[in-house]
Structure 1
Amino acid sequence: MTGFFARTLRAAKAADESADAPLAPIEHSDHARRVELLDSFEKAGLGWFWATDGQGRLIYLSPTAGDKLGWSVADVIGKPLTDLFMPEPDEDPDRNERPLAFLLSARNSITQLPVRLLGGQDEVWWEIAGKPEFDAKGRFNGYRGSAKDITTTRETQRDAERLAQFDSLTGLANRHRMTKRLSATLKAYRNSKRVCALMILDLDRFKQVNDTLGHPAGDELLKQVAARLERIVGSKGEIGRLGGDEFHIMLPDVDDRGVLGELGARLIQMISQPYSINGSRAIIGTSLGVAIAPYDGLDTEELVKAADLALYAAKGGGRGQYRFYSSDLKDGAKLRRQTEEDLRDAIVKDELRMFYQPVIDARTHKMIALEALMRWDHPERGNVPPSQFIPVAEDIGIIKQIGDWALHEVCRQASEWPMELRIAVNVSAIQFAHDDFPQTVHHALQASGLKPDRLELEITESVFMGDNNRTQRMFEELKKLGVRLALDDFGTGYSSLSYLQTAPFDKIKIDQSFVRGATEDGNNNAAIMSAIVGLAEALSMETVAEGVETHDELKLVTNRGATSVQGYIFSRAISHEEVLDRLERGDLTYEPKGPAKYRAERKTVFRRIGLIHEDHRYRVVLRNISKTGAMVEGLLDVPLGTEVVLDLGGGQLAVATVRRSFVHSQGLEFETPLISDGADGLCTRYRVSPYEIEAAGRPLAALPQDAYSLIAGPAAQHSPRRFLQVDPKPSSRAW
C-alpha cells in the first residue's frame, strides 16, 4: 500500500508542477516541435503524408504507411503516383467524379478521393487528399497530401450498399436496384435509339409450397428458382427479385418477339421442373409478361405497368404461359377484375353448369365413359370457358368451393343416367391438398347413390408436390372408397416415373399437346405417344388420347395403341340433357367427323384491318389467320401474285403475297411467318419502331394502335387505285 500512495503522491506533484508551468504554444516558426507533432500523428496511425515532385514522382511517404503495407519506402520513392494508386471504378452511373490521372494532370486539388493500392495481395483502399504546390515564380513543385486507410470503412459501406441493392435471400438485385438500373438504361437508350425488353414473372402455386412445406421450404425454393433464372438468362440480362415470388428480367437491345417468346417458353419450362427441398418434392409453375421499350413504354413506370398487364393476361389465360403487351390488354385487365367479382356469386346464382365430353373406345368407336367439364353461363357474357375462370377461382381462393360443388353435381347427375357409364371429374391440386378431400368424395357418393367404381378422379402431376407420404395416404383413402384414379396431362412438364411405382392409377391421359402435329413429318410426338402407351400397358393401366380432331390423328393414336379417344372428331362436350337423350336412345356409337389431315391451326376472326398496296391503304376484313397466312375480304378481283402489306394494328406489318383469289376474297401467304403471342393469338416478330415515327416528325411515344398512319401521313397516292373496295358480308367460306 505504501508503494501505491507514493506513486499517487508523485503523480499529483507532477500534475501540480505542470499546472504551474507557463503556456508554450507551438509557433509557426518552431519547426522542430511541428515536425515532432507530425511524427506523433504518423506513428499513431491516424493518417500518413505523401508528396510528389513537379513530374508527379513520389518524393515522400510516411514510413509507418510503408510498414503497414509491407513496403520498403525506398522502393516506391521516385515512382509516379499513378503507378501506386488505382482510382475507384465508376460503378454508379449517377456519379461524376474526375479520375486521379485527370486531377493530377490538371493540377487540381484532390479531396477525399478513394483509391485502391496496386500490387498487394489483399484489397487495400486509401482516401487521399492533396494540394498542388507552386514556388514564388508560379512554377509547379508537385503535390503535398495526406492519406488514411478506409479499407474497413469501405467494406462496411459496401456491405451496407449491397444490402440496400440486393436481395438478401437470393442475391439477385432488389426492387430499388432494378428500378434504378432500368430507369438509367431507358434514359440512356432513348438518346441512342436502342431498345430494352422487360420480363415480369411470378410463380404459380408458390403459396401452396409455403402452406404445405412451410416458409423455410418456400425460401429454399426461391433460391433454387433464382439459380435457374441465372443459368438460363446468363449475361444476356439482369435479374431482380422484387419481393415475394415476383421476379424481373431486364434484357437490353432485344426487341425480336420470336427470341423473347423462345426465352419465355424456356423459362416457363425450366422453372416448372420439379424441385427437391429437404427430401420433399415441390412442383410450381410460372406466368410471364413481356413489354419492350420504346414500343410499349418510354419510362420505367410505363414499361413496368405494360409488363404487369401482360403478366395479368398470362395468368388469366390459364397460367404457365407468356404474353406480350398490347394496348387491348387494358380492357382485359378490367374484364379480369369483373370476372373475380362475378365468379364469387356464380354458385349462389346457379350460373355454373356441367357439360360432358364422350370418351370413345379407340377400336369400336363406342362411348365407354364421359368426362365432366364445367361451364359458366354468364348472364351478360354468355358461355365463359374454364380456361378463363378456373385460374381466377384459384387466385381468389374459391376453387375448393367450386370443385366440391362440381363433384356433388356430377355424382347426382350421373346417378340419373339409364346406363352405368363411368364419369371422370377433374380435381384441382388445391382441392386435393385439403385433408378432408376423401370425406368430400365419400359424401358426394353417399348423397347421390352413385357406385364408387363409376367415379374416376382425374388428377394432375402437380399433386405430387410436397409430402409424398401424405399424398400416398390420400391415394390409399380414395382407393378404399372404390373410386378410380386417372393421371391427367401426363408428360407436360412434371413427369417422373418414380411416383408411378406406388401411385395406384387406373388410367394415364395422353395430353393433346402430344397429339397435335404428331402426324407431321419429323415430329417426335408419335414416338413419345408410343412410349407412354407402352409404359401404361406395363403398369396395367388404360390410356386415353385427348384432343383428337382429324382422321389422320385418329388413325395414329389407334395404331399406337391408345385404349380410348377424346376429341372433336367424335364430339364436343354436350349438356346433361343431351347425354340423357342419347343414353335413353341407346345411341352409344359415334362416327368420326372432321378434316382428313392435321394442318397448322387457323384462327377464325372477323375484324377490320388495313391492307397496303403501293401507295394506297384499303380497309379489309380479316376472316381467319394462321402463322403462315390469312384470308381477307373487301377487294374485288385481286390478281394472284400481288404483293401487299397487312397492317394488323399496334405497329404490326406483315408482308404477304396473294396465293388465292375469289371475287372479293383473297388467301394470303406471309413472307415471314407470324409467331405465338404465348396464348391463343399470333403476332409479328417486329413492329414499327417509335424511333421511325419520331424521325417522321412526331413526338417520341409508345406505339398507338394505328402506328402505321403516323409514319405514312397523308398518302401521296401518285397512282390510281388498282382495286375496287367493297363492303364484305358475313359468309361461311373457309380456306
Structure 2
Amino acid sequence: MNHPVYLKKITLKEYTRAVVRPPLVTMCVLLGVFFSAAFGVLLYIADDLNLKASQQSRLILKKALLNRQKEIRNHLTDYAVWGEAYSNLSPRVNTEWAWDNQNLGTSLYSVFGYEGVFVVTGDGVTAYSVVNGRYSPPSLPAWLGSDPLPGLRHSLSLSEGRAISGLVVTAGKLTILSAAWITPEEGKANSAGNSRPSLMIFADQLTPGELNDMGQEYGIKQVRLEGNTPEFIPEDGSTLVVSGSGGSVRLRWAGEDPGGALLTGMLPLLFLSMLAAGIISVSLIQSAARRARINDENTFLLEQSRLALLSSERRFRDVAETTTDWIWETDDQLRLTWISGRFTAVTGHQVSDWAGRSLAEFLLDDSHVLSLLKQSLRKKENLTLSACRYLTVHGEQRFCRMTVKRYSISTGRSGVRGTATDVTSELETQVRIRYLSYHDDLTGLPNRARLKEFLTEQLQNPPDTENPLALMMVDLDNFKPVNDIYGHTAGDRVLHETASRLSDCLKSTGLVTRHGGDEFIIVISETGGKESVENLCSAIIREVSQPFYINGNAVRIGASMGIALAPQDAQDMAGLLRFADIALYATKNAGRNGWMFYQREMGEKIAQRQEMENELRKAIHEEQLRLVYQPRYDIKTSRVTSLEALVRWEHPRQGQIMPDRFIPVAEEAGFISELSDWVMLTACRDVHDLFPGLSVSVNISAVEFKDGALYGRVQRALKLSGLESTRMEIEVTENAMLLNPEKTIQIMNEIRVLGVKFLIDDFGTGYASLGQLRRFPFDGIKLDRSFIMPIETCPDARDIVASLINLGKACSLDITAEGVESKGQMDLLSQMKCDVLQGYYIGRPMPPEQLKKVMPELPGVQDVL
C-alpha cells in the first residue's frame, strides 16, 4: 500500500517537471547557442592573441639582432678608429702590441664574446687573427668557411670606412661580421696614399648559448637555430627566417600562449554564467520549484564553499611552506601571533620560541623600523622595509626585506601581517660591487675612479704654494722581465707586494692608487714642501729596491717617479697627471730609478721630440731621406767588393740630420720597420742598377727582430729590386743578441736560407760575449772605429785588435775594420790578416751618382765594373 505523503511528493515532482521542462529546454537551447557563440568568439580572440604574440616576438628578435650588430659596430669603432691601433696594425701588424700587450687580444672574447678578431691588409691577407681568445694563424675565409672580404670592402667604400656589420650564414651557423677601416681618427682612412686600407673585423658567432641568452634578455625563451632554410619558405608560429650572406636560417623559440591563458580564465566563467542564468530562468518559471532548488543550491553552494575554503587553506599552506620567504602576523601591539614554517629554515629559530614575542625584539630594536611598523597600524597602504637587521639562532647578523600590510576583522581584532625575504647575499653583493668600483682587484688599492673622486675633493679648495698638493706617478723599472721569466702569477705577486710597500711608505698621509699595469699614482694632500716629498721618494726607492723573493729567487726591480705640484704646475686632475707623466718620462731618460719634479722645459723637449716624430713620418713618404754609400775594401783581392748604405735626412729647415738623431725616434715611435723597408729597397735598387758585381750592406735595428715579418720584408726588397740575395748583407748591433735570443736566431736562420749574410756592427762596444757570438749565425764582424784609431801609436791597442781578429777567425767569421783613415792603419791591419777595410782612407760616404763617378779611382774597382 502506497504512502499518501510519498504519492504527493511523486505527483508534485512530476507536475513540476511537466511545467518546467518546455521552457527549461528552450532556455537551455538559447543558453547553448549563446555559449557556443561566446566560445567561438573566445577562441577567435585567443588565436588572435597568440598570432600577435608571435609577431611581437618576431619583431623583438629582429630588433635584438639589429642591436647586437650595433653593439659590435660600436666596439669595433673604439678599436679601429684609434691612432695607436693604426700605428701598430697598418700596414703591418705589431704582434707584441696587439697580442703580447693584449691591446687586441683575449679580452674581446672573454668580455664581449667575439669568437673572431681579424686584421686584414689592403692586399686581402689576414695579418692577425684571434680565434676564441687565442692568437691563431687561420685567415678569415678559412675560419668562416667563405670569403666575405669583397662584400665587406664594397660596403666599407659606401660608408667611407666607418664600421659596418652584417649576417653571414655558413654551414648552418649564423655569424655577425663587423668591419671597419683601421684609421688614426674619424674620417682619415689612409694617410699613406691611395693604397687600400687595412681592415679590422670582429666576428660574433651566435652559438646556442648566445641565442638563448639574447632571447632571455628580451623575454623570449629557448631561442634556437634550425639550420639552413630556403628564403621562400614562409615564417609560421614561433619562427623567424633570417637571411644573410651565404643563405638563410630559421630561428625558433618557445612562444607565449596568451590565448591559452585567456581560455583557462574565461571558460570557467562562461560555464558558471550559463549555469547561473539557467538557474535564474528556471526560478522565474515556478516559484515553488525555485524555492526548493534555491534551498538545494544553497546547500550545494555551501558545501562547495566549504570545499573551496579547504582548498584555499591547503593552497596557502603549501605556498607558505615551499616559498623562500617566511610569512608572519602580529596583533596591534606587534606581538607575533602566527609564523610560517619557513621561519625555522631561514633563521634557525623555532616558531614556538617566538610565538607571542614582540617583532621589535626580533628586529634588533631598530627605532626607525619600529616607527614605520607602528605607522602601518594606522594606515591602510602597504609598506616595504628594505633592510631589516636580525640575528640567526647562531648569532649571525643578517638582513631581510619585509612587506607589511595592516589588517582588521569583524571581531575587532587588528594588527599587521606580511612576508620577510632574506636579502643578505644581495646586500653583500652590492657592497662588493661598490668596493670593486673604487678599488683594484689585484692589489686592493684604490683605482682611477677613487683617484678622480679624491682629487676632486682635494682641489675644490686649492692648496697654497707653501704646502702644495703633490701627485706622484710611479712606474716600476725592470718589471717586464719578471713576467717574461717567472710568469704573470709571479708578476702579480710583485705588484701586490709593491702596493703594500708603497702604502707603508705613505702611511696615512694621502692616497696610493694603481693606475694600471705596473704604474701607481700617489697623492699627498699636505706635503710640507719639496723636501718632504723628496724624503718620501727616497723611502719609496729604498723600499721598492729591496728584493722580492719568488720561488726562492731574489728578484730586484726599481722605481722611476715623476712629480707634479698643485697649484704651481696645475690645478686640475688632467693637468697634474699630464705633467707628472712628462716628469716621469724625463726620469726614465735620465737613467731610471729616481725622481724628477715637473719643469716647463720638460714639456718643450717632449713637444720637440713629438714634432720630430711627426716630421720623420712625413719625410719617409715625401722623399726627404737620402742614401749615401761607403765602399769596403777586400784586402785579399785588393779591391772594393761591397758598399754600406747609410741613410741621411735632408730636413727642409734644419738641413742634413744624421741617423743617430732620428733612428732612435723611429724605434720608439714604432715605425722603424717602415723606415728600414725604404732603406733596403732603395739600396738594393741602387746597387742593382749602378754597381753590378758589388754587394751592399744595410743596417737593421735590433728591435726589428721582434717582428716576425722581417723575413718577408727582406724577400720583398730583393724581389722588387731584382738584386741577387747573395749580394745583400744585413748589419745588426750586439743588442740583437740580447732581445729574445731564440726568436732572433730563428729569424736569422730563415733569412740566411735566402743567401743573405749577417754582420755584427760596432763589435766590442756592446754586451755580447764570445759564447753568444758562437750561437748566432753571423758571417762576419765589424770592429768598431774606437779600436782602430789608436793602433798606430798604442801597442796595447794593436794587441787588442789582433786578439779580436784572431777570436773572430777562430769562429770562422770575416773581419771588417771600421774607421780606417790612414795608410799606416791599412798596412797594420793587413799584417794582422784583417779581411775587409772601411773608412775615409778607402772612401767617404757619397751619393750613388757621385760614387759612380769616382769608383774608377778606388783600389781594384776596374776588375769588377
TM-score (norm 1): 0.42
Structure with greater helix percent:
2
> Whose radius of gyration is greater, 1 or 2?
2
Q: Which has the higher contact order (CA 8 A, sep 6+)?
A: 1
